[in-house]
Structures are given as structure tokens and as C-alpha cells.
Amino acid sequence: MHILKLPWLGHKAEGKPVECYSVSVNADGSRLASGGLDGNVKIWDTHTILQFKSVEIDGDFDRLLPPKPQRRPLCSMSRHNGVVTSVKFSPDGRFLASGSDDKIVLIWEKDESMINRPKQFGEAEADMEHWTVRKRLVAHDNDIQDICWSPDGSLLVTVGLDRSIMIWSGKTFERIKRYDVHQSMVKGIVFDPANKFFATASDDRTVRIFRYSKKLHESANNYEFQIEHVVFDPFKKSPLTSYFRRMSWSPDGQNIAVPNATNGPVPSVAIIKRGNWSSEVSLIGHEAPCEVCSFSPRLFESDGDKDNFDTILATGGQDRTLAIWSTKQAKPLLVAHEITGGSITDICWDNTGQSLFFSCVDGSITCLAFEKEELGIPIDQELMYTQLHKFGKDRESNVFPESIEQLELEEKAEKLDVQPISDKKPKEITPRPSPRIESSPSMPTMSPLKSDTQKLDIRSQKITMKNGKKRVAPLLLSASTNTPVLTVSKVTKKFKVSSKLSHNNYLLPRLGVATAVRGLKFRAQENVNPNNEDQDNDNDDMNFDMGNEGGNLSVVTLKNQKRKIKRVVMESKYPNHFKLISNLSESLFNHSLFMKHEMSKIINSHDFQNTSDLFSGSSATADTHDEDIVFAVLVSSITHKMNPLYELDATEVQPVKSIIEVRNGAPWKEDEEDIDLEYDDTFDFQDPTSVIVSNDKNGEFHKYLLYFPFKIQHCLPVVINGMLIYYVIVSFTGTLTIFLAESGSLVTPNVEIGSNLICLKQYDKFLMGVTSSGLIHIWELPEFPRTRNLKILTPPISLSAIMNANLKIESDSMIISPNVKAIELDKNGTPYVLLDDTNDVFKYSVDLMIWVKVIDSWYYNSIDDITPCKEILGYFQHLSYQAFKNDVQRLKTGKYIFNEETKELKDIMNQRHNELMHCK
């Protein structure tokens, strides 16, 4: 193996290297195209590059071959107005497609008539080749990230940051379809070498497999597309920091290598298997996210076995490491650490599979040249073609799903020399081989046809007209009709170079010139949604199935499913029984079914008419509340004394007013057409959250700004002894962060609670949080600057023990849980809880590690009045007694009527209540 890092091979601007983002080798391996930050598309001679393979590079390049004037690109084209992010040669090598962040795709073709063109103004040297722009494809609304041609060159697909998948004709370059099925930026596209599928990878952490086929008896651009499968599992935790997600399909059609996957916390490359689209295999070895994969175009014999084949895969990414993998072993064949000065952005192989080119953000293009059979013994091209033959590569029509039955039917039709009815010139059919079938003595011999006139030809059938309809007379096959011989012949791969543009340069599209680049889609007027601003896509004509269970879901159905699932998620995140203790907006807790139950009790106790309107109104209200609106901006202000640590020379302490303002970033998904039902603030997060802290210390305005990579649900100023010490913020998923109020410096590492908090409170040096699942977390804040460690007083305490003990089962089998009316901490950090259903007060005993009842509301029957007390137990006694009195007034509970002649029971109950109060 030889590593060729040539100083002149790469992209430069004003003499300095600039990022190179894409490379591509043409079909015969003679030309290498590259694009980069300088906005240029460059063409290189691969023969010139590979000449350095046999030379020991020692730094004196003047003595090396080839001559110095040839150590430069053959041509450099600068027709783009932005960064060139992707370049791809067509399968026949005639055209080159280049995409840029100027939202335009250019189709280049080599112009032989301009070989002797003189040097132009501004050029340092005249180009040795000249490529001219044949087409400009304008349809994307944002940067173009990747481009891919179909194996036969009939389709061109471009994807970009606008979430769109643009499908163009590879012949006329007219736009065929546009799909916006991804929920985030699309960064990768690859075609199946068998010409049946293509796959796209997106920042929505999915890979979508599309099936496509050409309609029979229709124009060349009339294709059908549908989503075959959506792959989620390997990408659920994939990072969103990668600029590309460039996939590769193995040359035998069996597997797709997808970068930027994860296996647990480790970056990996996912291998998706054709057919069931499972992703059980992953390649682990890169230390940072992998951004690009590329299979070698050749198959290699596996340990000398000509019936088994190995594939070779190259991967690279942000760790500046290139890895070469083989299917014959789990470990990589080669790992080249820090082979470049930056992230690897693209990888391509030449047609022989012996040379590998990859680009890098340091501006360089590196070549790996392997020795003969160093990677293995390559199999014959004809044998490799038979591997794709079983997937129906040479069959254009694909009306039925790809199956063995369909392929057998087509084989039988070919053996009988049956031609489909078509207006086109009949196509000469070459008998398909079957290399695994060999003649044997036990196999019956089939005689050949006696003459050409005996061949079955559907076109010779008699066609008549009856009642305005065509009638085809059936053909009678006599018993003596012989069948053709099943022969085994040599398989040859015929690659026909289509004329393409040469036959269309002077022909206008049927619907006008504008459709050559923008396309046109007819819609029925009654089906047009006036509220949908973006109608320039073809999503409606695709069989789009969210669950991949065979159902066809309409947009209305998807929206209803989204509302239903979102309501379930909101009920679990904001349970109604914690509404009274939460410091969040009350509207978030209106999604619960308990609200309807409470409403039904009120309606049943009064004579209401048209009660259905009340229920429909409450349900609609629950659907319209959105967390993104409620938590768009959070503001909290506090008046406090300055910390003496920051005011050493102050003679008197002046009150200071501090304000913290949180501005949460916008989500990716902002329209109602969103069909992604997974709920995760790090999944759909777009912009960083900004936190602005300001105060008016000494009459001057002071402010600092912080950024966080998550949306914030709580922001709490921590005041101890009248001084503002910390700010505590908590994300939607329970990430707790503590930073100094004066400087914004972190005090402790982030604490992952694992669930969203519905309540966050501070009592002196203690911090308490209650999760939506009913767990109480209590921490002791650090005494800064003496300590910086957050301490936990006790493991998380569950409220389920006291809440489940008071469940009520209604007549309609509905289970009602009591609400938590109040929760506080005492001076030792011990939690007290008041339930609204029984008005009992509970305290958690750290010694017993269990809840104990400190106030039993039954004894309130013997008490006439309670004096409020500042102690925590007295405070809860007052709350509990007032709630008991209200329940008695509303006839929710009864009150004892004691015998006036004897007060024995009342006195005993009063005495026992006092005993409980003193047992705290």
C-alpha cells in the first residue's frame, strides 16, 4: 500500500489550503473530480497521480515524475456562487453533477471543441481540458449536501438542508418528483446497484429506504416511488454535529453502510441488510462520529472460495482516521490514525478497486494505492454481475414487489421469447443464463424450436374492436409445439451510453421551458389545502406508512395520531395530581382525564343541558397548549444583598435587584404537518438556549450571557441569608445545572435526574425537586467557595406509597389518585406532604426509610380551632385543618356530633392528636 499526499493535489485560495468537501472518480478511472470551499470544481488526471506510487517521495518534487507542469488540475471551473459540497460523475462518465450551498446543481459535460482554447483573463495557466455547463437545476431552498446517480444513469437525486429529496431525469434533467418526508436536514443519498431502491439519511435520525420503478407503456420520466422501510434503531442517539452522512451500498447489493450511528455510547457504522432492513451489525472503532463510508466497487474471493465473496469498506470521519474493513473478519484490515489534518469529508474508489481517494477539511486530497491482490483476489466482472441479477438488476419493470415468484415469471417469459405489447421498437432479448444449472444424464433433454416461424409472438395476435374496446384473440398452442432449449451462455454486462442531452438540446419540454428545472405537478382543485403554504412537493402520491405495517395513512389521520400521542405524553409529563405543588403553568396539567372526571361530578350534581359541549371544549383546550409556547421565555427577578465575597470594600450593603431571562431555542418542527411522534428535547432541538443574567449593582447595569444545548424548564435563584449565591436551571429531560450568580461559572457538573421536574424549590441550603414520576430528590447545596460538591441527603423518595394507599375506585371502574396539595422541607431537609383527599400529613423518616403519618385528619372532629404556627408541622396542621373545614362545609365529609352529657370521646381524641403532634 502507498499513501500519496501530494502538495499540489487539493484546493487552495490565495495560496492557502481551503476545505475540500467531495471527490468522485469517473467510470473508467481516468478522471478525479473535487469540490471545496473555494467554490471551484476541479478535474484531475488519476494517471498522473498514480505515477507517484512507484516513486519514493523524499521532498524533492522537481526530480519526480511526472513533469512539474502536469502537477496541477486539468481544469478548474468556477461557475458556482458558493461552496461546492458534492460532485458526482454519471455512471457512463459523460456528465458531472456538482451541488453547492448556492442551492443550484450544475450538470457539466466535457467540450472537446475547446481543447485549444487560449488562456482566459484571470487564469494563471490555460486549462488542459474544458468542461461546460449543460444544465442548471434550480429547486432546492437551502444548501445541497449530497448527489447520487442511479446505476443506469436514468435518475439523479439531490438532497440538502431544506429537508427535500429532489428526483431529476438523468436524460432531460427535468424535475420528476420532490419529497419532503424527512423532518430535518438530509445529508446522504445512495442508490442500490440493482437499480431497485435508494436510501436517504437525515438529521432526524432516520434512514429511509425508497423503492422506485418505471411505469410500463409510459414515458421515460414516469416513475413510481414509495417508502419501503424506515430504519430508526442505530441512529436514536446519533450526534447532530456531523456535516455529512454519506452512505454506501455494497456492490453485491446485500448491505448498506451508514455512518454516524451509535452502539450504546460509542460511535459506529451501521450495516443495514437488504430485504428485512435489519441493522444488527455495527462497525466499532472510530473515536469520533464517522461521516462517510464507501464500498469498493469490486468483490473479492473469500479465502480462495470462488462461491463466497468479500466486500471491502472504507470509513472516515471527525477523528481524522481512515479504516478499511472486510467482511471476512471483525477487525479492520487497516487503521490509519491522523492520516489527515482534519475531518475526512468524502471517499471514492476507482473502477479497479485498487486505488482510494479521500478529501479532507484541511484542503488536501489523499490517495491510497494498493498493490495487486493486496486486498484480495477480485472476482470477474461477469460473475459479479450475476450477484445483482438475482435482485432483478436487468429488469426495468417492477410492478410487483421484488420477489422470487416475479423473477421466475419473467424468466419463463424470456425463455418463450415473449415480448410485451409496446409502441416502441421491439427489443432483442438475449437469453438469461443460469450458471448454477448444469446438464446431467437424469435431466430431460429439450429440443430446440424447429423454425423461427414457430416462435410464440404476442404481437402476431389478432386485435379487433367491439363496442369501442380492444379484443385480443387468443393464440392456440398445439401439443406438438416445442419449447426452447435452456442453454447456459456467458454473461456479459452491456452498458449502453445513452445520447441524453444531444437529442434534447433543441426540444422544448411539453409543458414549457420552466418545467425543465422546476417540474410541474397537477393537483385537483378540491384537494388543495389553502392553509398549507408549501405545495411544491409530491408527498401525497407516495405510499407513506409511519409504522410500516401496510396501511396507507392520510395527512388528517397522521395529524390525529400526533395529537393523540402528544396528549398521552403530556399526561405522563404533567400528571394532574401534582398540579397544586408545581411552579409551572397550570395549563400544562389540563391534559389529564381526571379533569373530565371532576367535571362530570359537578354536572351530575346540577341540572345542566348540552353537557357534550363542555367536554368537547375541554378536550380542544388540551390539544392547543404547546410547551414551546409556554416555555419560550422564562423570567425571574429577586431583590437581595450583595455577597461580601464580591464587595470587600463596601461600607454598607445596598439591596440589588437581579433578573434572569431564559430564551429557549426554537424546535426543528414548527408546522402541524409534522409526523415525527418521538418526544425528546435534544432530538428536535435547533438553536441554543440563551440565558441573560443582569443586575443593577451600585447603580450600574451589569449583564452576562450564557448558552446551553438544551431547552430549560426551570430557572431558580438561590438566596441564602438574604444573598443571591447560585442560579439553578433544569432542562426538559431533567439535566440540573448550578452556576454562580455573580460570574456564571459552573459550580458542579451537570446532574442527570432522568425525568422532567414538575416542582423545584429551595429551603435555605437545601434544594428539592419532584419528578413527574413521583420521586422526591433532596440535595444539600455546596458552601461556596469552601466546597463545590452537591450532596444528597437520602436516595430518591417515592410518593407512590402514600398516594396508592388512598386510591378510590369509582363506579365506572375509574381509579382516582389523591392530589398532593402541599410539599415542604423542614430545617433538617425532611419532606412533609399534605394530600387533598384525606387531608392527612405525612413525613418521611430517614431512620425508618418509610413514610409516617404525623397528622391524622380524623382527630379534627374533636378540635374547634387551631392557631397558626411558624414551625413546619404547625404550618401543615393549619393547612390540613382548613382543608378539613372546607370539606365539611361542602359536605364532602361528615363531622362527629358528640354527646353533650359526656365529653369522654372528644377529650380522648383531642389528647391523642396532641400526642401525635409531639411525636414528630
Residue pLDDT, tens place only, 218-232? 555 578 888 999 999
Distance in angstroms (rounded) separating the CA atoms of residues 273 and 677? 26
Distance in angstroms (rounded) separating the CA atoms of residues 223 and 419? 21
The SS3 of residue 767 is strand
Angle (CA) 908 909 912, round 5°: 85
56-69 pLDDT, tens digit each: 555 555 555 677 77
Torsion of CA 246, 252, 255, 257, to 10 degrees: -20
Confidence of residue 868 (pLDDT cuts 50, 70, 90): low
User: 813: Cβ–Cβ under 8 A, 6 or more apart, which residues?
Assistant: none
Minimal CA–CA distance to 17: which of 397, 431, 364, 449? Answer: 364
Distance in angstroms (rounded) separating the CA atoms of residues 324 and 370? 12
Grid cell 429506504 — which residue?
209
- Residue 329 is classified by DSSP as -
Distance in angstroms (rounded) separating the CA atoms of residues 812 and 831? 35
Phi, psi of 189 (to 5 degrees): -150, 140
Distance in angstroms (rounded) separating the CA atoms of residues 265 and 242? 16
State the CB neighbour count (10 A cutoff) for residue 736.
22
What does each C-alpha distance from 746 to 726, 738, 793 come to in angstroms?
A: 10, 6, 22
Least confident segment among 275-279, 318-322, 572-576: 572-576
Helix (H) or strand (E) run with residue 572 in it: helix 555-573
User: 641: Cβ–Cβ under 8 A, 6 or more apart, which residues?
Assistant: 653, 655, 656, 722, 723
- Helix, strand and coil content of the chain, in percent to the nearest 5, comes to 20, 35, 50
- State yes or no: pLDDT of 600 exceeds 80: no
Amino acid occupying residue 67:
P
What does each C-alpha distance from 636 to 75, 128, 660, 704 come to in angstroms?
A: 61, 67, 5, 15
Confidence of residue 144 (pLDDT cuts 50, 70, 90): very high
Average pLDDT over residues 341-367: 93
All three cell numbers of 9, joined, read 493535489
Distance in angstroms (rounded) separating the CA atoms of residues 163 and 179? 9
Which range scores top for mean pLDDT: 28-42, 392-406, 698-712?
A: 28-42
What does each C-alpha distance from 814 to 578, 593, 598 come to in angstroms?
A: 19, 10, 12
Amino acid occupying residue 274:
R
Four-residue CA torsion sign, 200, 201, 205, 206: positive
Q: Where are the beta strands (DSSP E) in 274-320?
A: 281-284, 290-295, 300-302, 305-310, 312-317
Least confident segment among 237-241, 304-308, 521-525, 748-752: 521-525
Amino acid occupying residue 745:
S
pLDDT at 723: 87
Domains along the sequence of the chain with CATH? 2-384 (2.130.10.10), 802-920 (no CATH)
Distance in angstroms (rounded) separating the CA atoms of residues 552 and 542? 9
Which range scores top for mean pLDDT: 36-45, 690-699, 779-788, 900-909?
A: 36-45
Least confident segment among 305-309, 544-548, 697-701, 802-806: 544-548
User: Are the beta carbons of 293 and 347 closer than 8 angstroms?
Assistant: yes
Phi, psi of 886 (to 5 degrees): -65, -40
Distance in angstroms (rounded) separating the CA atoms of residues 636 and 727? 10
User: Are the beta carbons of 268 and 281 closer than 8 angstroms?
Assistant: no
Mean per-residue pLDDT over the chain, rounded: 76
State the CB neighbour count (10 A cutoff) for residue 89.
21
Helix (H) or strand (E) run with residue 640 in it: strand 633-640
- State yes or no: pLDDT of 262 exceeds 80: yes
Distance in angstroms (rounded) separating the CA atoms of residues 358 and 315? 10
User: Are the beta carbons of 739 and 781 closer than 8 angstroms?
Assistant: no
State the CB neighbour count (10 A cutoff) for residue 410.
16
Average pLDDT over residues 470-494: 44
- State yes or no: pLDDT of 306 exceeds 90: no
Q: How many helical (H) and strand (E) elements, i.e. helices and strands, does the chain have?
A: 10, 53
The SS3 of residue 840 is coil
- State yes or no: pLDDT of 435 exceeds 60: no
Strands 712-720 and 702-708: unpaired
